[in-house]
Structure formats: C-alpha cells, structure tokens
Amino acid sequence: MKENVIYSINGPVVTVKDTDAFSMLEMVYVGEDKLIGEVIAINKAATTIQVYETTTGLKPGEPVYPTGQPISVTLGPGILRNIFDGIERPLEEIAKQSGAFIPTGSAVDPLDKEKLWDVTVCVKVGDELVGGDIYATVPETELITHKCMVSPYIKGKVVEVKENGQYRIDDTVVILEDEDGNKINCTLIQKWPIKQPRPVTKRLPISMPLVTGQRVIDTLFPIAKGGTAAIPGGFGTGKTMTQHQLAKWCDADIIVYVGCGERGNEMTQVLEEFRELIDPKSNKPLTDRTVLIANTSNMPVAAREASIYTGVTLAEYYRDMGYHVAIMADSTSRWAEALREISGRLEEMPAEEGFPAYLPSRLSQFYERAGYMDNLNGTKGSVTIIGAVSPQGADFSEPVTQNTKRFVRTFWALDKALAYARHYFAINWTLSYSEYIPDLERWFNKNVDPKFLRYRQTLSSLLAEETKLNEIVKLMGTDVLPDDQKLTIEIAKVIRVGYLQQNAFHKDDTYVPLNKQLKMMEVIVYLYKRAQDVVSSGKPIRLILETGIFDKVIKMKYDVPNDNIDLLDDYFQMIDEAVASLD
C-alpha cells in the first residue's frame, strides 16, 4: 500500500497529495508524534487535514495514518468530576505525565481504564435490547447514577450477562447477539462522533423553566429546560460571571461547562470554586454533577472548534439517561473565530468580516442540539444550551451575535453602562427577551403562583415606562415631572436596585428561590400601590420618600435571609405604617 505522507504545512492545516485513503471528517494521526487531526476537505489533488495540536517541528514526508472513524468521544463512567481539553483528553492525566505545560502528541486515555466501578446489571438473558436501552447502572458520583446504554442503531438479544460486581470500563458486562448471529460485547463505554447529534424518539414541547435563582433571569427573561439562550456582551460586562452563577445554581442535574478559547485562570477558578461549593439541594460538592471542558485561548485553535461539539455530545449522552443537562459555552465567538481562522488557512471565500459563509449553518446545527426529548429508552431528558457571545467592539450588529440571535429564543443582552455602574447582572431589560414565557405559563401558575407572571408584567411595564420617562429626564431633569411620574421613576429604581441587581458574593443574595422572588415582587408592587394612593390623595411624593421606606425595601434582599422568607410579610406592615405616618 502506498504510504500517505504530508505534502504541505501552513499553521494547523496540512495536506496530503494524491491519495484516496481518507474520508470526510475522519480522524487521522499526523506525523511521527501522532498528532490528532481531522480531514476537512478532499479533492482529486489533495486531502486537507486540520491538526488539533501545534504543528511546530512537523516535516513534509512524515506519515499520516487514517483511523477509519470520525472524531469521537468516549462515553462512560468517569466523565463527571473530570476536566478535559477540546478533544476529551483528561488534563489532570496530562499534567501527571508531562508537568505544568501541555506538550504535543500526548496519548492519554479519555477515561481511567484501571478504576473499578460498582456495576449493577439490569437485564437478563433472553431480553431483546434496542439502541438506547439501559443494561447496567453505575454510581458514578454520589449524586449521579450512570446508566450504560446500548449504542444507538444496535439491537440484539442478550445471550450472556455478568454478575453484579466491580468492573473496569473496558470489561464486557453483557453480550448481545444480533439477527445475523454476530456477538456484540457491551462494556461500560461507547464511542460517538462529536459532530453527529445522538438520535431520540421525538422532541417534546418545552414546558419547564430552568430555575436559576437569579431574579432578573427567572422573573423577567426565563429560560426553559431544553431551551437555548445567548449572553452577548462586550468585555467586562460579566458574561463569564453570569455563566458561573448559572453553572452553580441552576436546577439542572448535570452541568457541562465549556471554556472555549477563554482565560486559563478562569478555568482554574471554576475548578477550585466548584470543589468547595456545596450543592444546596443534595449537600454534595458541585463537581459531582459537573464536567469541565477547557480549551483556553492559547491552546491549539482547531481543538477549540471541536470543544463545543465535544461538550454537547457529552450533554446528549447524559440526556439519554434521563437527566436534565445544561451546557454553558463560553464563548461561542471564540469558536466562530476558530472557524474563521481555519477557513482563512484554506483560502475559502470569506463572507461578512472574514467569517466563512457557513457560519450561520454551523451555529444553527449547534443550537438545534438543545431540546426536551423523549429518549430512545423511554426516559425524558433535556439539553439546555447557554452560549456566551463576545461581540467585537461590543457591537451587537456583528455576524456572530446577529446569527446567534436567529437561533436562540432567550437573549440576555449585557450592557456596558450597567456594568460600569457595577449593576450585576448587567442584563439590559430593554434589549433582552425571552420567547419562552407562553410555554412556561402553565408551569408557573401551577408550581409557583398565578400572581408570579402578573407581577412580572407589572414590573416590566414599570421599567418600560421609566425608560420612556428617562428620555424626558435626560433633557429637563426630574423636577419638571408630575408626582405620579416621579413615583414611576422612584419605584423603577426600587425594581432596578432592589430587585434586578443581585450580589453574587452575598450569602443569601447569590441564590434566591422562586417563592422569595414572588414575595419580593409582592412587596414592591404593594409599595407602588400604597404610594400611588398617597400621590393621588394630593400629598407630595417627597413626603413618602422621606420616611425611608423605599430605601428599606431596596435593602430587603440583604435583610431577609432565604431560610426565613416570612420576614418579608413584615414589610407590608412597615409600608402601611409609613403611609399612615403621613396623616
């Protein structure tokens, strides 16, 4: 057989001439060091390969080995609590082998092959299994039971099962026999190509919110389990902080956090913080439900492109077990830039701002992998995608933001002016939106209170009103406004500072349960109503402001602890007293 050798090298792109040994998107090993690469273009003259590691030192004439498989991830117990690079290489293992810096060509198994897992087999000889069926369970962490599933597109009859007990991931625990009599060994792991969505029975309608404990999100712009959201914002507006808060507090079962082309120190911070943080519902460390994928900005650019797919494939795998999974991708702009960089090296015709013309289709393919699904094995699970977008020059009209906007249904626009005033989350309430509210109406009415969405509407109308009034205030000052409009400005300030703004470093304010959110809104709306009475009775608004009740309500988020929400009831009385004191 003719050997396939490197012909040309340009950054992460290498070509092999005159060969038909490769297929599209196949994974290959490049050079003596066996760098991992992927076939991205084939024509009669040459095959083009992008290499997932730095190509320094590579020479033309070095061999390229086909593997016959697309770039895949290994799925099995041991994924949780782990930190991987963009192509599922465990960074802890690499550090053990090679020290603090990541060398090229590290051949490390994605999952620990030596570790013994407690396996409970849940099928018996004679059972007919199809793709997706669960044949064994493994307690992966104290929080999550891992379910080993038959790989999709495979079916057969169980001919042999092993005893329950301790097994390594490569050990066979169940043997199937398909229609043609072929034996299929089922171990604890399976492989899946990262660019191919895992199949499901059908998509289910969105019906549950992803509760995050962050007031501006849960109340004004909620996201659904199985939904998609984008967080665009210039640098310093708090994209990463928002993602961290969501990863810590949202009520998904599993979190996949993808640091895609971002800062190394941030990933270290996530690692350290999540180890220390305790999940409030289960009292276990947050790492027990988290997997991190870190491809920092100085790691090879092609692996950055892969990291997003790797993340979403892991998420889909856990969804298939019946879990609600949330994936945070920080940031999708870096991923788009990786596409641009590679496209430039291939000398493709650029579209807008140098991005390739296929940017929108790639973005939609990614976001469409979210959803609330009826899985092959009858369980129900969801993948929620929350992607940060880093628009160039904080200009939301740039291609990545605009194209993302077409495919997501929740849009949390971060605002520089709010961030400058240290108003976090700096989510701008006029630019942001959530299309999920009609879908979630039933859930809120049933599980929280029908008042929740009513109050939400009151708050958002007041904020809209304030935005309008601010146009006047900007030109003429507040003094010219009549008292009822002054009241709108004042109550909007209470909403902004006392409700929307949330302190991630305050022990109670960092996570606020929905019933406290409801109560807080109730207090604010009550304050508004009583103050309206005062104003309509002809008393100047100055009087009620001077009682200090507005400031008191602003600080209720700090003064009322989460474990004693009933204290909020006292505020109604305080408001009444303040109003009464004016007579």
Partner 1 sequence: MSLQYLGLNEINGPLVVLDHVKDASYDEMVEIMCQDGSKRLGRIVQIEGERVVVQVFEGTNTLSLSNTKTRLLGHPMELPVSREILGRVFSGAGKPIDGLGDIYATKSMDINGQPLNPVSRVYPRNYINTGISSIDCLTTLIRGQKLPIFSGSGLPHNQLAVQIVKQAKVADDEGKGFGVVFAAMGVTNDVADYFKRSFEEAGVMERVVMFLNLSNDPIIERILTPRCALTAAEYLAYEQDMHVLVIYTDVTSYCEALREFSSSKGEIPGRKGYPGYLYSDLASLYERAGMIKDANGSVTQIPILTMPNNDITHPVPDLTGYITEGQITLDPELNSMGIYPPVSVLPSLSRLMKDGIGEGFTRADHSSVSNQLFAAYAHVQDVRSLTSVIGEDELSDIDKKYMQFGRLFEEHFLNQGFETNRSIEETLDLGWLLLSVLPKSELDRIDNAVLDVYYNHDKALQIFNIIEDSIVELEQAIHNG
Which of 161-171 are b and which e, b meaning 16 or more Cβ less than 10 Å from the residue's Cβ? beeeeebbbeb
* Positions in 246-265 near partner 1 (CB under 8 A): 259, 261, 263-265
Is residue 30 a contact residue for partner 1 (CB under 8 A)? no
Q: Does residue number 34 form part of the binding site for partner 1 (CB under 8 A)?
A: no
* 103 sits near partner 1 (criterion: CB under 8 A): yes
Size of the site for partner 1 (CB under 8 A): 78
- Closer CB to partner 1, 316 or 466, in the complex: 466
Q: From the centroid of its chain, how far is CA 318?
A: 14
Report the residue number, 190 or 214, with the smaller CB distance to partner 1: 214
**Shortest gap between Cβ of 279 and partner 1 (angstroms)?**
21
By CB under 8 A, name the one of 497, 543, 565, 574 that touches partner 1. 497
Q: Could you say whether residue 337 binds partner 1 (CB under 8 A)?
A: yes
Write the CB contacts of 119 (distance below 8 Å, at least 6 apart in sequence): 136, 137, 138, 148, 162, 164, 165, 166, 167, 173, 188
| CA 435 – CA 408 distance, rounded (Å) | 9
Q: Does 269 bind partner 1 (CB under 8 A)?
A: yes
8 Å CB contact between 497 and 554: yes
CB of 354 to partner 1, least distance (A): 4
Tell which one of 390, 410, 502, 517 touches partner 1 (CB under 8 A): 390
Contacts of 238 (CB under 8 A, 6+ apart): 414, 419, 424, 425, 426
- Angstrom CA distances, 86 to 73, 89, 91, 358, 465, stand at 10, 7, 10, 21, 46
Which range touches partner 1 (CB under 8 A), out of 36-44, 196-204, 309-317, 387-395? 387-395
Residue of 87, 91, 158, 246 that binds partner 1 (CB under 8 A): 91
* Binding residue (CB under 8 A) for partner 1 from 115, 422, 468, 507: 422
Tell me the residue ranges of DSSP E strands in 111-226.
117-121, 128-129, 134-139, 145-149, 156-161, 165-167, 174-177, 183-186, 190-193, 202-204
> Of 44, 45, 100, 283, which lies in the binding site for partner 1, with binding defined by CB under 8 A?
100
Question: How far apart are the C-alpha atoms of 313 and 333, rounded to whole Å?
Answer: 19
Question: Residue 306, by phi and psi: left (phi above 0), alpha (psi -120 to 50) or beta?
Answer: alpha
Site string for partner 1, 298-317 (x = CB under 8 A): xxxx----------------
Residues 535-554 that bind partner 1 (CB under 8 A): 548, 551, 554
296 binds partner 1 (CB under 8 A): yes
**Is 3 one of the binding residues for partner 1 (CB under 8 A)?**
no
Query: Contacts with partner 1 in 156-215 (CB under 8 A)?
Result: none
Residues within window 47-76 making contact with partner 1, judged by CB under 8 A:
54-61
How far apart are CB 523 and partner 1 at their closest, in Å? 16
Distance CA 347, CA 357 (A): 13
| Interaction between residue 583 and partner 1 (CB under 8 A) | no
If one asks whether residue 9 binds partner 1 (CB under 8 A), the answer comes out as yes
450 sits near partner 1 (criterion: CB under 8 A): no
221, 432 Cβ separation under 8 angstroms:
yes
